[in-house]
Amino acid sequence: MSSARDRILDTAFRLFYARGLRAVGVDLLIAESGVAKATFYKHFPAKDDLVLAYLDRVDDVWSGQLHAAAEAAGPDPADRLVGLFDALSGACRREGYRGCAFINAAAEAVPGSPVHERTVAHKAAVLAWVRGLAEQAGAQDPDGLARALTLLLDGGLASGALDADPDAPRRARESARLLVDAATGRAA
């Protein structure tokens, strides 16, 4: 990866998240990244190519945070299902937090477009990972538990942007614990 490509992608990462995909034009990206127009188009022939690279980077960061939070909860899959919610605390309290980059991108993208499909693929990958943990935890309905937990996770991300309730990540984690305990027969 060239340093010019990195600068463009770093700039896109900052601007797309802060302002939205449609609000950031190619001219602004070129000016802010300090590259020539020809250099920009050499690396990203279309704006959507840059948006997809941005979403790939967001996916790497967010998925890494989710997996790290789950692993930090210990080896028990049920605890990992609850522990992944600890990633909300860091995300929602970050300066300039504007919610889930994938939900934001999906809201701006045309359904069926490559950008929209990339957002759907991300959400499907998270759902599949959570489903795998639910299955390992012995959930009676791993699909249902995974869907409930990912809805709760998305709601926590949205809450962090909409009401900035500092208690929302803790409440989401507590709700996840109730769902996991009920689904795995651990509820008292």
| Cα separation, 77 vs 136, whole angstroms | 6
| Cα separation, 125 vs 99, whole angstroms | 19
Q: May I ask the CATH architecture of the domain 48-184?
A: Orthogonal Bundle (1.10)
Domain ranges of the chain: 1-45, 48-184
**Helix 3-19, helix 47-72: angle, nearest 10:** 80
Question: 1-45: CATH homologous superfamily?
Answer: Homeodomain-like (1.10.10.60)
Average pLDDT of span 138-165: 90
Average pLDDT of span 29-45: 96
pLDDT at 105: 95
Average pLDDT of span 28-37: 96
Mean pLDDT of the chain: 93
Q: Is the pLDDT of residue 1 over 60?
A: no
Residue 2: pLDDT band by 50, 70, 90 thresholds?
low
Residue 123: pLDDT band by 50, 70, 90 thresholds?
very high
